[in-house]
Amino acid sequence: MKKYLAYLTILACAFLVLFVGYINIDAIIGAFGDVPPYYGRTTNMDKWQNPIPTLVTVDVITLVVIFLAGRWAYRQIKSS
């Protein structure tokens, strides 16, 4: 039973990587792209915020979660 839970954990980690990757791409394109609502970095400069510090924080937390879950799943699979 733990072996199936370990494989499910690995699958969840893969989906987490894809989801966080999508968040990163969407935030970077929204902040630095030439499409609405920003029209580049010159218009609405008073409302513009750099998304990079928030994205780095989310990425680091995600990496820690994936590392811990992956290590647990690897140990469960290897011990079975």
- Higher per-residue confidence, 47 vs 74: 74
pTM over 0.85: no
Average pLDDT over residues 61-73: 97
* Span 9-50, pLDDT tens digits: 999 999 999 999 999 999 998 888 776 655 555 666 667 788
Average pLDDT over residues 59-71: 97
Identify the helix (H) or strand (E) that includes residue 8: helix 2-32
b/e burial code for range 42-65 (CB count within 10 A of at least 16 → b):
eeeeeeeeebeeebeeeeeebeee
Domain tally, the chain: 1
Helices 52-79, 2-32: inter-axial angle, 10-degree rounding: 160
Q: Which domain holds residue 72?
A: 2-79
> What does the pLDDT read at residue 53?
95
Per-residue tokens: 41: 């970095």
